[in-house]
Amino acid sequence: MLDRIRVVLVNTSHPGNIGGAARAMKNMGLSRLVLVQPEEFPSGEANARASGATDILEAAQVVETLEEALVGCSLVLGTSARDRRIPWPLLDPRECAQHSLEHVELGGEVALVFGREYAGLTNEELQRCQFHVHIPSDPEFSSLNLATAVQVLSYEVRMAWLAQQGRPTKMAKLETTAMLDSVPVTSDDLELYYGHLEQTLIDIGFLDPEKPRHLMSRLRRLYGRSGISKLEMNILRGILTETQKAARGESHKRRDD
Ligand code: SAH
């Protein structure tokens, strides 16, 4: 699906930016790169900046004109760092990604077009695009590095694609997995725990049964917020048991004794 979204770089001067763009694309799962009259390509510098994305450079299509680069595309989006005199339908990168994916889902091909490092896209080139995309940078310093601009749009395309596919945007971290694996505590276990906690607090002189001052309800509220697992409850029960022993003056017994 993402292979129907191509990145078109027009007349790029620095081969390092071509490599950087290839890397940004590959990181985000995009693969089709089209180069319109690059000043220097193929190039060692492009390969170096691409890091492990040299396959994208090797498969890149090099063409003479923007028209050739856009063959087969039914949606063309041109990026620009500046406001143009001619008003044109404008999208931000998120809207651009959304539009692109909707278009691809209908069976279309999409081009994201990027301009020259020094001069951007010409007005004629921009007028070949149905929409203009502007990354909302600081107006005082609005122009991003070319490869960085490719990164921003590719990232938004990936986020929209992940959402569309119903895939997670977060890696399952170890703690999260451990928490999900653990069995949640039942309310009867919790009740036993509260009984144990209350007795312990009385034993150590923290809770006066004559004047409880809502202590237990406040503690219930606190524990209720924390989503305790069975394993965590066992730890807390263990702490209470040891606390009671210590209060009775029994010698402390280490877990690994
Ligand atoms: N001096 C040029 C800057 C070009 S930067 C100009 O004023 O247009 C090179 C390319 O990176 C641009 O042509 C565009 O494709 C992309 N780019 C840089 N900053 C951008 C921004 N804020 N929004 C959208 N695209 C941007």
Dump pLDDT digits (tens) for 136-193: 999 999 999 999 999 999 999 999 999 999 999 987 665 565 665 678 888 899 999 9
pLDDT of residue 252: 57
| pLDDT value of position 236 | 94
Residue 253 has pLDDT above 70, yes or no: no
Q: Is the Cβ atom of 236 under 6 angstroms away from ligand 1?
A: no
Q: What structural domains and CATH numbers belong to the chain?
A: 2-165 (3.40.1280.10), 178-256 (1.10.8.590)
The per-residue pLDDT for 226 is 84
Q: What DSSP state is assigned to residue 83?
A: -
- Say which residue the tokens 């703690």 belong to: 175
Query: In Å, what is the CA distance from 43 to each residue of 30, 56, 115, 186?
Result: 21, 13, 19, 64
CB of 134 shorter than 6 A to ligand 1: yes
Contacts of 9 (CB under 8 A, 6+ apart): 17, 18, 21, 33, 34, 35, 36, 38, 114, 146, 150
Q: Does the beta carbon of 79 sit less than 6 angstroms from any atom of ligand 1?
A: yes
Per cent of the chain over pLDDT 90 is 80
Model-level pTM? 0.77
- Please state the rounded mean pLDDT for residues 197-211: 94
Per-residue CA distances from 36 to 11, 73, 249, 252, 257 (Å): 6, 15, 83, 77, 73
The values of phi and psi at residue 135, to 5°, are -80, 120
Sign of CA dihedral 143, 148, 154, 160: negative
Q: Answer whether 120 contacts ligand 1 (Cβ < 6 A).
A: yes
Q: What is the DSSP string of 218-243?
A: HHHHHHHHT--BHHHHHHHHHHHHHH
**Element housing 125 (H / E):** helix 123-127
Residues, the chain, total? 257
Cα 209 to Cα 180, 199, 220, 233, 244: the distances in Å are 37, 10, 16, 24, 17
Pocket test for ligand 1, best of 36, 80, 128, 134 (most atoms within 8 A of CB): 80
